[in-house]
């Protein structure tokens, strides 16, 4: 118990003036599971990446197995005994299980790979993690849960002493999640120090010996021992003092609302603004597609509605389907009185629906092209006259939108890639705030991901003014409760590809959102624990059962482009 | 604030002159030094007659290099142009030899080129197959088709057809005039049309272009067709100049020469960057190199080595030189 597997002291890391980590301490003794919580941008990923050697910390020390490091290279991290299992696994699909386990440390005999010896050892390792696959199975053909176990087996083969699991259940079915929890318990008894990153409080309650909550790069809460009070954790994640929220989290409406989810579709919000479904806003009726639905919702003209949910909840899919990036399998979408069946983004745009995607680098930006080209791209053709670009008009539109979004520097010829993240996002957003395309409904996915605080405020201001001054219907997805509270008039909680709750007005608080989404996710976890997998319900309830939503965007883009 | 401002948005492809241009196209300097060296060592490199010869030789290269460059900027590639050149020249020459009017004969050749380009375009843009593989296959297949259709060398295309390669317009050889038109059209297309912007956007980030509502298939498809047509036009010009076309050898290796010119001109093989000015420089560089070495009686094999070395050296320079603002 005294032997310390991992001890992090005073770890600090800044990115361009923003402190991603600020003097973070974290100690995980051998044979313990330490849960790491905090919402997106709180610093969890940065912490893990410093540990894995991807980033050099600015200051602080990382002690692994009694040896202190000021910075680790990826190789040093592995030899020191750190193994990190990322959400996007790093197994090679084309290789077999045993080939994956021994990748880079192959056993050879006379220069040839000793396949039989590898497979024997691999079988032993697989047994240790209770995987059911065979060493000869091709990894690409295995379910997500098994792939994850293969990666853990690989970590064990390198005699890792510190195991970091980054939201390991996000891409797993509920049955797989439960199996994984047992494996984690086994590995704890085998003496590993385990850092367990999660959003799900049920997992914390079941597994964690200690908890650290990060917020804005600092340790916001730390507690040792079982019996974590859920409300303390929620308060720490949301950044409120633990005393006050006595009422709010208990009032979390989801438990009640999931019986009457859409009955509460607050008409008050519409009435207050004097808007209704027929006023030119966005209306979804029973929209469904792979991994989500049916979803019905209304965004009035000039209204800002947030979609709050965890990774895999389906929020991105809903937006992408609305925009024609994915094909809907049923339901209708209306903008104003016009029904839209968008088979491709061009169709959605023609109907006045635009999307600002979440993955700016892959889906939004043209880094080597100028700011002018980036912001004006969809406007160049509408502005052109008899096939020739109207350079003067383009320039006027650029100046207007650069002023409206507060682009800095407002230099049209500068390559977009040389702008800061916030200003890049302004360029992508700026595409849709000129009159040339007549946007009536604006969809935003994680509108301020990778954006500094100042630019975040400006983006909120732009979105607000779009809604208020132009009557644009705004529907945005976010995993950041702070952002939802800041920007939304009304919020729909999404889990398992469905709207499971709605919050507006005074009840729309960070605590309420956090409880809501954790309750919603816990429903699936506990349902699975109590009754052994009623397939239909678990598929419906659990947003985390759909692995493809968690695949990185670049993989999606490849398949989607081939498909469209 | 008026002229300066319009200069700011003036697209790169139109920008000629100035230090920035020199920095973006270091090939200008290399070309100048090379011309100087050739002039000093041969004494006749800059003679008008020799320059006319270079221009005529470079014309067919430029006619294909421009649309190919646009294709590469949009993230695709066409390796089949050498065979398409042969097929186009053969079809046009054969039609002319059959007594068709020269205009109809050339149009027939161009149609054959368009057909090849359309097959490339459908397979690459609409079916999403790899352009490298598709056009590599077409390079072989179209060569086979040309030889199957015209197993014997063709010649005797008649005086009307000879006009295309041999006549002069205002004292300038017709192929050079055509090449100049193609260069100007390419530059204007990139700079002044919406589709020109789309070419860059698709080449830099297809997914983002798609999500911006751009049709990411139509423009590259059209470029495949135009490239095929251009290759057939180059083939017709060559057939006209030589008054002969041979299925097995016409345009053999041409695809690699064109690609060399395009890449020397600073067009990125990964797509998303390049300019017509660069292509012109690449074409002139290759043409001058070949001509100058021939004047110096350097054997052909050495010339090939020089050409290849130039490409690799260019790539090395671009790789190791500090990346200036693009």
Q: How high is the pLDDT of residue A521? A: 57
Arithmetic mean of pLDDT over chain A? 81
Put simply, the answer to whether A345 touches B204 (Cβ < 8 Å) is no
Rg (CA), chain A: 25
Put simply, the answer to whether B9 touches A412 (Cβ < 8 Å) is yes
Task: Identify whether the C-beta of residue B151 lies closer than 8 Å to the C-beta of residue B92.
Answer: no
Cβ neighbours of B10 in A, within 8 Å: 391
Q: Which residues pair with A226 in a beta bridge?
A: none
Nearest alpha-carbon partner for A208 in A190, A222, A228 = A228
Q: Which residues pair with A193 in a beta bridge?
A: A32, A162
Cβ neighbours of A367 in B, within 8 Å: 204-205
Q: How high is the pLDDT of residue B321? A: 63
* Among chain A residues, CA nearest to B212: A378
Q: Is A375 helix (H, G, I), strand (E, B) or coil?
A: helix
Under the banding of pLDDT at 50, 70 and 90, the label for residue A240 is: low
Q: For an interface test with A, which of B194, B195, B217 has the most A Cβ atoms less than 10 Å from its Cβ?
A: B194
Task: Identify whether the C-beta of residue B233 lies closer than 8 Å to the C-beta of residue A369.
Answer: no
Looking at the complex, report in whole angstroms how far the Cα of residue A422 sits from the nearest Cα belonging to chain B: 17
Q: For an interface test with B, which of A378, A379, A416 has the most B Cβ atoms less than 10 Å from its Cβ?
A: A378
Task: Identify whether the C-beta of residue B58 lies closer than 8 Å to the C-beta of residue B185.
Answer: no
CA distance B307 to A346: 45
Looking at the complex, report in whole angstroms how far the Cα of residue A182 sits from the nearest Cα belonging to chain B: 40
Q: How high is the pLDDT of residue B17? A: 52
For the cut 60, the answer to whether the pLDDT of residue A264 exceeds it is no
Looking at the complex, report in whole angstroms how far the Cα of residue B57 sits from the nearest Cα belonging to chain A: 33
Q: How high is the pLDDT of residue A314? A: 87
* Among chain A residues, CA nearest to B216: A561
Provide the residue count of chain B: 326
Task: Identify whether the C-beta of residue B139 lies closer than 8 Å to the C-beta of residue B80.
Answer: yes
Q: Which residues of A touch B (CB under 8 A)?
A: 323, 325, 344-346, 348-349, 355, 357, 362-369, 372-373, 376-378, 380-381, 384, 387-389, 391-392, 394-395, 398, 412-413, 415, 431, 437, 557, 561-562, 564
Least trusted range by pLDDT, from A504-513, B102-111, B169-178: A504-513
Task: Identify whether the C-beta of residue A157 lies closer than 8 Å to the C-beta of residue A101.
Answer: yes
* Among chain B residues, CA nearest to A381: B194
Least trusted range by pLDDT, from A333-342, A446-455, B211-220: A446-455
* Among chain A residues, CA nearest to B202: A366
Q: Are strands A82-85 and A108-109 parallel, antiparallel or unpaired?
A: unpaired
Put simply, the answer to whether B208 touches A362 (Cβ < 8 Å) is yes
Q: Which residues pair with A109 in a beta bridge?
A: A112
Of B6, B206, B210, the CB nearest to A391: B6
Task: Identify whether the C-beta of residue A308 lies closer than 8 Å to the C-beta of residue A323.
Answer: no
**Residue the block writes with tokens 């000015």:** B277
Q: How high is the pLDDT of residue A253? A: 38
The pTM (predicted TM-score) of the whole model is: 0.77
Q: How high is the pLDDT of residue A102? A: 92
For the cut 50, the answer to whether the pLDDT of residue A526 exceeds it is no
Task: Identify whether the C-beta of residue A160 lies closer than 8 Å to the C-beta of residue A82.
Answer: yes
Provide the residue count of chain A: 564
Percent of chain A with pLDDT over 70: 83
Nearest alpha-carbon partner for B92 in B262, B202, B243, B310 = B243
Put simply, the answer to whether B201 touches A366 (Cβ < 8 Å) is yes
Mean pLDDT in residue range A298-307:
95
Mean pLDDT in residue range A164-174:
81
Least trusted range by pLDDT, from A124-133, A547-556, B25-34, B254-263: A547-556
Nearest alpha-carbon partner for A89 in A28, A160, A157, A172 = A172
Cβ neighbours of B9 in A, within 8 Å: 372, 391, 394-395, 398, 412-413
For the cut 60, the answer to whether the pLDDT of residue A152 exceeds it is yes
CA distance A465 to A404: 10
Q: At what angle do helices B194-204 and B218-242 cross, to 10 degrees?
A: 110
Q: How high is the pLDDT of residue A226? A: 62
What tokens were used for A335?
A: 């903008």
Q: What is the DSSP string of A95-128?
A: SBHHHHHTTTS--EETTEE-HHHHHHHHHHHHHH
Under the banding of pLDDT at 50, 70 and 90, the label for residue B118 is: very high
Q: How far is CA A292 from the centre of its chain?
A: 16
CA distance B141 to B124: 16
Mean pLDDT in residue range A511-528:
62
Q: How high is the pLDDT of residue B38? A: 95
Q: What residue ranges define each of the domains in chain A, with the CATH number in brackets?
A: 254-347+479-563 (3.40.50)
Mean pLDDT in residue range A94-103:
92
Dihedral sign computed on CA atoms, order A533, A538, A542, A547: positive
Q: Render pLDDT for B187-204 as a digit per residue (tens, 0 to 9).
A: 999 999 999 999 999 999
Q: For an interface test with A, which of B212, B217, B273 has the most A Cβ atoms less than 10 Å from its Cβ?
A: B212
Mean pLDDT in residue range B78-102:
96
Top-confidence residue, A17 or A66: A66
For the cut 70, the answer to whether the pLDDT of residue A279 exceeds it is no
What tokens were used for A331?
A: 């339901």
Least trusted range by pLDDT, from A89-103, A363-377, A387-401: A89-103
**What are the φ and ψ backbone dihedral angles of A10, each rounded to 5 degrees?**
60, 35
Looking at the complex, report in whole angstroms how far the Cα of residue A414 sits from the nearest Cα belonging to chain B: 8
Q: How high is the pLDDT of residue B296? A: 93
CA distances from A121 to A99, A118, A188, B96 (A): 11, 5, 21, 75
* Among chain B residues, CA nearest to A390: B192
Arithmetic mean of pLDDT over chain B? 90
Q: Which residues contact A563 (CB under 8 A, 6 or more apart)?
A: none
Where are the alpha helices (H) located in A239-385, listed in sequence order? 254-257, 267-273, 315-322, 345-350, 371-376, 380-383
Mean pLDDT in residue range A348-369:
93
Least trusted range by pLDDT, from A7-11, A16-20, A161-165, B36-40: A16-20
For the cut 90, the answer to whether the pLDDT of residue A230 exceeds it is no
* Among chain B residues, CA nearest to A416: B326
Q: How high is the pLDDT of residue A542? A: 34
Helix, strand and coil in chain A, % to nearest 5: 40, 25, 35
Q: How high is the pLDDT of residue A520? A: 65
CA distance A411 to B170: 44
Q: How high is the pLDDT of residue A463? A: 96
Q: How high is the pLDDT of residue A544? A: 34
Mean pLDDT in residue range B236-258:
94
Q: Which residues contact B136 (CB under 8 A, 6 or more apart)?
A: B79, B80
Put simply, the answer to whether B9 touches A391 (Cβ < 8 Å) is yes
CA distance A337 to A219: 50
Cβ neighbours of A357 in B, within 8 Å: 208, 211
For the cut 80, the answer to whether the pLDDT of residue B92 exceeds it is yes
Q: Render pLDDT for A185-197 as a digit per residue (tens, 0 to 9).
A: 999 999 999 999 9
Q: Render pLDDT for A33-49 as a digit per residue (tens, 0 to 9).
A: 999 988 777 888 889 99
Put simply, the answer to whether B214 touches A377 (Cβ < 8 Å) is yes
Under the banding of pLDDT at 50, 70 and 90, the label for residue A54 is: confident
Put simply, the answer to whether B210 touches A345 (Cβ < 8 Å) is yes
Mean pLDDT in residue range A81-89:
86
CA angle A368, B318, B190 (to 5 degrees): 45
CA distance A166 to A40: 12
Q: How far is CA A233 from the centre of its chain?
A: 20
Put simply, the answer to whether A562 touches B128 (Cβ < 8 Å) is yes
Under the banding of pLDDT at 50, 70 and 90, the label for residue B320 is: confident
Top-confidence residue, A370 or A558: A370
Q: Render pLDDT for A390-443 as a digit per residue (tens, 0 to 9).
A: 999 999 999 999 999 999 899 999 999 888 888 999 999 999 988 888 899 999
Q: How high is the pLDDT of residue A3? A: 65
CA distances from B187 to A485, B20, B217, B290 (A): 50, 18, 21, 26
């Amino acid at each position: 118990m005294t032997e310390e597997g991992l001890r992090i002291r005073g770890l600090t890391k800044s990115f361009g003036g923003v402190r991603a980590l600020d003097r973070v301490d974290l100690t995980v003794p051998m044979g313990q599971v330490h849960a790491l919580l905090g919402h997106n941008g709180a610093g969890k990923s940065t912490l893990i990446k410093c540990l894995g050697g991807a980033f050099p910390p600015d200051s602080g020390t990382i002690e692994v197995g009694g040896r202190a490091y000021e910075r680790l290279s990826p190789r040093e991290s592995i030899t020191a005994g750190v193994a990190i299992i990322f959400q996007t696994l790093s197994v090679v699909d084309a290789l077999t299980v045993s080939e994956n386990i021994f990748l880079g440390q192959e056993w050879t005999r006379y220069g040839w790979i000793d396949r039989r010896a590898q497979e024997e050892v691999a079988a032993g390792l697989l047994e240790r993690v209770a995987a059911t696959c065979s060493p000869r199975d091709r990894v690409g053909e295995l379910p997500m849960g098994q792939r994850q176990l293969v990666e853990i087996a690989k970590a064990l083969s390198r005699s890792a002493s510190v195991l970091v699991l980054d939201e390991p259940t996000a891409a797993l079915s509920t049955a797989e999640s439960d199996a994984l929890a047992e494996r984690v318990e086994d590995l704890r008894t085998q003496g590993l120090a385990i850092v367990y990153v999660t959003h799900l409080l049920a997992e914390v309650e079941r597994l964690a010996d200690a908890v650290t909550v990060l917020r804005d790069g600092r340790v916001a809460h730390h507690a040792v021992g079982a019996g974590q009070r859920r409300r303390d954790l929620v308060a720490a994640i949301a950044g409120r003092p633990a005393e006050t929220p006595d009422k709010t989290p208990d009032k979390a409406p989801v438990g009640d609302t999931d019986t009457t989810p859409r009955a509460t579709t607050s008409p008050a919000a519409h009435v207050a603004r004097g808007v209704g479904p027929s006023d030119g806003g966005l209306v979804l009726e029973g929209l469904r597609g792979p991994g989500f639905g049916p979803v019905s919702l209304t965004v009035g003209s000039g209204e800002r509605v947030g979609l709050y949910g965890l990774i895999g909840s389906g929020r991105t899919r809903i937006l992408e389907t609305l925009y024609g990036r994915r094909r809907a399998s049923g339901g209708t979408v209306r903008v104003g009185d016009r029904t839209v069946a968008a088979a491709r983004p061009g169709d959605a745009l023609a109907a006045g629906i635009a999307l600002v995607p979440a993955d700016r680098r892959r889906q939004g930006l043209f880094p080597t092209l100028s700011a002018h080209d980036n912001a004006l791209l969809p406007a160049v053709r509408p502005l052109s006259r008899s096939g020739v670009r109207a350079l003067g008009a383009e320039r006027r539109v650029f100046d207007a939108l650069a002023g409206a979004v507060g682009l800095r520097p407002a230099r049209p010829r500068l390559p977009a890639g040389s702008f800061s993240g916030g200003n890049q996002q302004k360029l992508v957003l700026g595409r849709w705030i000129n009159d040339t395309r007549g946007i009536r409904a604006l969809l935003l996915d994680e509108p301020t991901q990778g954006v500094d605080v100042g630019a975040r405020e400006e983006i909120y201001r732009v979105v607000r003014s779009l809604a208020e001054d132009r009557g644009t219907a705004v529907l945005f997805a976010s995993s950041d409760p702070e952002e939802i509270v800041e920007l939304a008039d009304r919020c729909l909680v999404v889990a398992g590809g469905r709207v499971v709750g709605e919050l507006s007005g005074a009840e729309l608080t960070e605590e309420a959102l956090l409880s809501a989404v954790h309750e919603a996710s816990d429903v699936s976890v506990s349902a699975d624990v109590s009754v052994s997998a009623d397939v239909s319900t678990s598929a419906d309830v659990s947003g985390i059962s759909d692995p493809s939503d968690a695949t990185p965007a670049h993989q999606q883009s490849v398949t989607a482009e081939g498909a469209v | 604030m008026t002229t300066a401002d319009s200069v700011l948005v003036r697209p790169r492809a139109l920008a000629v002159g100035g230090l920035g241009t020199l920095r973006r196209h270091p090939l200008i300097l290399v070309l100048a030094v090379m011309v100087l060296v050739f002039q000093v060592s041969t004494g006749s490199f800059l003679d008008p007659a020799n320059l006319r010869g270079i221009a005529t030789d470079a014309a067919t290269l430029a006619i294909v290099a421009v649309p190919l460059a646009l294709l590469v900027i949009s993230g695709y590639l066409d390796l089949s142009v050498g065979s398409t050149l042969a097929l186009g020249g053969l079809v046009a020459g054969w039609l002319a030899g059959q007594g068709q009017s020269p205009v109809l004969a050339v149009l027939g050749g161009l149609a054959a080129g368009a057909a090849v380009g359309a097959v490339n375009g459908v397979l690459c843009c609409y079916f999403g197959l790899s352009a490298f593989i598709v056009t590599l296959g077409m390079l072989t297949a179209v060569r086979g088709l040309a030889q199957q259709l015209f197993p014997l060398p063709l010649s005797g295309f008649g005086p009307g057809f000879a006009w295309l390669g041999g006549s002069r317009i205002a004292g300038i050889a017709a192929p050079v005039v055509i090449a100049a038109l193609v260069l100007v059209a390419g530059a204007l297309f990139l700079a002044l049309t919406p589709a020109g912007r789309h070419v860059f956007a698709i080449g830099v980030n297809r997914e983002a272009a798609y999500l911006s509502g751009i049709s990411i298939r139509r423009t590259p498809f059209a470029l495949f067709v135009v490239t095929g047509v251009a290759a057939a036009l180059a083939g017709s010009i060559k057939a006209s100049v030589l008054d002969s076309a041979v299925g097995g050898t016409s345009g053999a290796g041409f695809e690699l020469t064109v690609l060399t010119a395009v890449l020397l001109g600073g067009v990125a093989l990964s797509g998303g960057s390049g300019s017509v000015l660069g292509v012109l420089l690449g074409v002139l560089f290759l043409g001058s190199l070949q001509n100058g070495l021939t004047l110096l009686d350097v054997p052909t094999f050495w010339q090939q080595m020089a050409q290849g070395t130039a490409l690799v050296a260019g790539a090395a320079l671009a790789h190791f030189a500090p990346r200036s603002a693009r």
